[in-house]
Chain A
Amino acid sequence: MLSIKNLHANVEDQNILKGLNLEVGPGEVHAIMGPNGAGKSTLGYVLSGRDGYEATAGNIDFSGTNLLDLEVEERAQAGLFLAFQYPVEIPGVSNMEFMKESVNVIRKARGEEPLSAAEFLKKAKAAAKQVNLPLDFLKRGVNEGFSGGEKKRNEIMQMILLEPKLCILDESDSGLDVDALQVVANGVNSQRDGKRSFIIITHYQRLLDYIKPDFVHILADGKVAKSGGPELAKEVEKTGYAWLEKAGEKAE
């Protein structure tokens, strides 16, 4: 599904990712943890092709295509979805309009017919319900005046509607109250179908109580410093990242 080999990437001429390797198979859930500034969001942006995030070495294979050859929108159309750490507002553009446009452009890329207004409305209502957002959020401007937690739930709603192949969630659990955390986790779990894969960036083990990851990776200084199963997240929760420095010192 996704195979990242020796990925180096620059942001503003600064080397941030320094030889990152990651293999994500179909249907797998990978959690990525790591200290602030380690390069987790950068990885999400490089995968989605954001301008200014430049891969300088290595390669990324996404279901048989070289991801780095594709434009941002082509990657999205190929089934890559990024839930943002800081979702941006688009005033005046209703959530409905925005998502309908998005859903239909992606359907078109898949060779499917566009959804009619009625069909779309039905799906949108169901998705809103699933993430516990009142229906009037469909009419409001994209993220316009949404609270932090509402924005995160709105991202999950989009994920549900777009039916991507690979979902990258960048701290979708940050700033959520206990109930919202459950809602986001349920949203993700409902989309696990054995084929769809997930990369879940998080700082907190508690999300992983609800979403059982297959693998946990610790990202530090632009590389995967350690990989393991769910127990690795528990360890981080207990001991923090101090051991990373020790490991680094040893290596030097």
Chain B
Amino acid sequence: MSEQIDQAIARKYEAGFISDIESDTLPPGLSEDVIRHISAMKEEPEWMLEWRLRAFELWKKMPEPDWAHIGYDLIDYQSISYYSAPKSMKDKPQSLAEVDPELLRTYEKLGIPLHEQEMLAGVAVDAVFDSVSVVTTFRAKLEEAGVIFCPISEAIKKYPELVKKYLGTVVPRADNFFAALNSAVFTDGSFVYIPKGVRSPMELSTYFRINELNTGQFERTLIIAEEGSYVSYLEGCTAPQRDENQLHAAVVELVALDDAEIKYSTVQNWYPGDENGKGGIYNFVTKRGICEKNAKISWTQVETGSAVTWKYPSCILKGDNSVGEFYSVALTRGMQQADTGTKMIHLGKNTKSTIISKGISAGRSSNAYRGLVRMGPNADGARNFTECDSLLIGDQCGAHTFPYIESSNPSAIVEHEATTSKVSDDQLFLCKQRGMDAEKAVSLIVNGFCKEVFKELPMEFAVEAGKLLEISLEGSVG
């Protein structure tokens, strides 16, 4: 069996098409002028430009991090274009009827119809194409509830006080190399504001699509949940199949004020490159949330794409009794490399965190979990539970676990469990003896392995995620 597993992996990436859309794209290169240009194109106020320029200054002095368990060719930041927008978006379409039909078709092909009547009831979508937001649906309905859901470029102009108050407070500009870069050049992303005591009447979701060649996507998302509010937010990502690597460096900041709850789910399916590691997205993402008193932030991610993933959705449990959760499925195959995990920073008393990480490695890929649990001196009675499981398919892949535990409070309890298992020949044989082919068998076994995480996803997403795994695993056994 293992011989068969070792066989070359036939890849299938269903989102790999290129849309034929005319775009205004900045020539490659990064400079103060480029940043001024982006800011001008977005008609930003002066303070925003200043903020970006300061980030650029910081970035220039920072070294690129090299501690992760990944290897990739050095990125030439001068060879990337930092802004690309479909030409048709220049006239700022006021309604869906005015949006370029080719753009709408792109999303339809990806299974995300943007016409409200065709959409899943109960999910509002912000569609971001390269550097701009194409459309945000169901805005009227959300406004009735006082919920703001709009492109961040719009929020900067319409709600400057909110943006100024929170932007960069969870992920400061100088946090890390990629966060600084993002702060300097970010183009679009979503902005969410849930007023006090409001439960968002629908799920909010953003769908990111990279289309242009040699363009980086630098999106910025800011979600603010006022006291006692609740929101569930979903994020999906795809990119065309290209031989060149493309950079995606996003920043996501979540603010959960007292008694608020934010549930953030991601299904990441950026193009992973071919079986020899050619092409694919470099995904360097900083995601972090802060919890005030009794607040809760829950990150759920299903990561199947990208050539390189560098991503650690984290929680700062500042308020007493606040709760942080991280549920993750990361699948690597071919030559993919993932270094992903979380940080749970316990500052308040009786704070709780749960980490369930499921890593699946196939082909010649490398999959690392990196997690930090820090118990601060005031985190009396704080608790963490970490479960970190790796599943290997074949014997040319690697799984690694790097747990870091730092406790400066003796009353805090940290529990860590880790397992590594293989899809065994016995299991495959049992499934086949019961009539299933090898691919069905592997997908069934992998789905079982991921069950604890999938049950955290909103219904439609869980089904999606299961299908995505099945497609991703196609050809990974003989």
Q: Which A positions have Cβ atoms within 8 angstroms of B?
A: 48, 50-52, 71-73, 76-77, 81-82, 84, 87-88, 90-93, 97-99, 101-102, 105-106, 109, 141-142, 158, 162
Q: Give the Cβ gap from A213 to chain B, nearest Cβ, in Å.
A: 23
Say yes or no: A72 contacts B424, CB within 8 Å: no
Contact residues in A for B429 (Cβ distance below 8 Å): 50-51, 72
Residue of A nearest to B450 (CB): A92
Contact residues in B for A73 (Cβ distance below 8 Å): 432-433, 435-437
| Distance in angstroms between the alpha carbons of A13 and B434 in the assembled complex | 27
Say yes or no: B448 contacts A101, CB within 8 Å: no
| Distance in angstroms between the alpha carbons of A175 and B431 in the assembled complex | 24
Q: Give the Cβ gap from A203 to chain B, nearest Cβ, in Å.
A: 22
Contact residues in B for A109 (Cβ distance below 8 Å): 435
Say yes or no: A48 contacts B433, CB within 8 Å: yes
Contact residues in A for B425 (Cβ distance below 8 Å): 51
Contact residues in B for A84 (Cβ distance below 8 Å): 430
Contact residues in B for A51 (Cβ distance below 8 Å): 1, 4, 425, 429
Say yes or no: B447 contacts A92, CB within 8 Å: yes
Answer yes or no: B177 CB below 8 A from chain A CBs.
no
| Distance in angstroms between the alpha carbons of A91 and B387 in the assembled complex | 15
Interface range for B: 20 to 34
Contact residues in A for B451 (Cβ distance below 8 Å): 92
Residue of A nearest to B421 (CB): A91
Q: Which residue of B433, B444, B449, B452 contacts A101 across the interface (Cβ within 8 Å)?
A: B444
Contact residues in B for A87 (Cβ distance below 8 Å): 430
Given contacts A77-B435, A93-B445, contact A88 B424 (CB under 8 A): yes
Q: Which 9 A-B pairs have the closest CB atoms?
A: A92-B448, A93-B448, A102-B434, A72-B432, A76-B435, A88-B426, A92-B451, A106-B435, A105-B435
Contact residues in B for A105 (Cβ distance below 8 Å): 434-436, 440
Contact residues in A for B430 (Cβ distance below 8 Å): 84, 87-88, 90, 142
Residue of B nearest to A84 (CB): B430
| Distance in angstroms between the alpha carbons of A189 and B425 in the assembled complex | 32
| Distance in angstroms between the alpha carbons of A101 and B445 in the assembled complex | 12
| Distance in angstroms between the alpha carbons of A229 and B299 in the assembled complex | 66
Tally inter-chain residue pairs, CB-CB below 8 A: 73
Answer yes or no: B427 CB below 8 A from chain A CBs.
yes
Q: Give the Cβ gap from B285 to chain A, nearest Cβ, in Å.
A: 28
Q: Give the Cβ gap from B387 to chain A, nearest Cβ, in Å.
A: 13
- Report 30 cross-chain contacts, Cβ distance below 8 Å, ordered by A residue: A50-B429, A50-B433, A51-B1, A51-B425, A71-B432, A72-B429, A72-B433, A73-B432, A73-B435, A76-B435, A82-B433, A87-B430, A88-B424, A90-B427, A90-B431, A90-B445, A91-B448, A92-B447, A92-B450, A93-B445, A98-B434, A98-B444, A99-B434, A101-B434, A101-B436, A102-B434, A105-B436, A142-B430, A158-B434, A162-B435
Contact residues in A for B447 (Cβ distance below 8 Å): 92-93
Query: What does DSSP make chain B's interface, helix, strand, loop or mixed?
Result: helix
Interface string of B1-14 (1 = CB under 8 A from A): 10010000000000
| Distance in angstroms between the alpha carbons of A235 and B358 in the assembled complex | 55
Say yes or no: A162 contacts B448, CB within 8 Å: no
Q: Give the Cβ gap from A172 to chain B, nearest Cβ, in Å.
A: 14
| Distance in angstroms between the alpha carbons of A82 and B435 in the assembled complex | 11
Residue of A nearest to B434 (CB): A102
Other than the given A72-B429, A73-B433, A90-B448, 4 more pairs (CB < 8 A) read A48-B433, A51-B429, A84-B430, A93-B445
Say yes or no: B432 contacts A76, CB within 8 Å: yes
Q: Give the Cβ gap from A101 to chain B, nearest Cβ, in Å.
A: 6
Say yes or no: B449 contacts A92, CB within 8 Å: yes
Q: Give the Cβ gap from B212 to chain A, nearest Cβ, in Å.
A: 40
| Distance in angstroms between the alpha carbons of A73 and B478 in the assembled complex | 13
Q: Give the Cβ gap from B451 to chain A, nearest Cβ, in Å.
A: 4
| Distance in angstroms between the alpha carbons of A2 and B57 in the assembled complex | 79
Given contacts A50-B429, A84-B430, A97-B444, contact A102 B436 (CB under 8 A): yes
| Distance in angstroms between the alpha carbons of A82 and B429 in the assembled complex | 11
Q: Give the Cβ gap from B7 to chain A, nearest Cβ, in Å.
A: 13
| Distance in angstroms between the alpha carbons of A88 and B437 in the assembled complex | 18
Contact residues in B for A72 (Cβ distance below 8 Å): 429, 432-433
| Distance in angstroms between the alpha carbons of A234 and B447 in the assembled complex | 48
Contact residues in B for A141 (Cβ distance below 8 Å): 448
Say yes or no: A102 contacts B435, CB within 8 Å: yes
| Distance in angstroms between the alpha carbons of A201 and B440 in the assembled complex | 30
Say yes or no: B440 contacts A101, CB within 8 Å: yes
Contact residues in B for A106 (Cβ distance below 8 Å): 434-435
Contact residues in A for B427 (Cβ distance below 8 Å): 88, 90
Q: Give the Cβ gap from B96 to chain A, nearest Cβ, in Å.
A: 37
**Highest count of chain A CB atoms <10 Å: which of B432, B434, B437, B447:** B434
| Distance in angstroms between the alpha carbons of A184 and B424 in the assembled complex | 28
**Highest count of chain B CB atoms <10 Å: which of A101, A141, A158:** A101
| Distance in angstroms between the alpha carbons of A84 and B427 in the assembled complex | 12
| Distance in angstroms between the alpha carbons of A141 and B430 in the assembled complex | 14
Q: Give the Cβ gap from B20 to chain A, nearest Cβ, in Å.
A: 40
Interface string of B283-324 (1 = CB under 8 A from A): 000000000000000000000000000000000000000000
Contact residues in A for B452 (Cβ distance below 8 Å): 92
Residue of A nearest to B444 (CB): A93
Contact residues in B for A82 (Cβ distance below 8 Å): 433
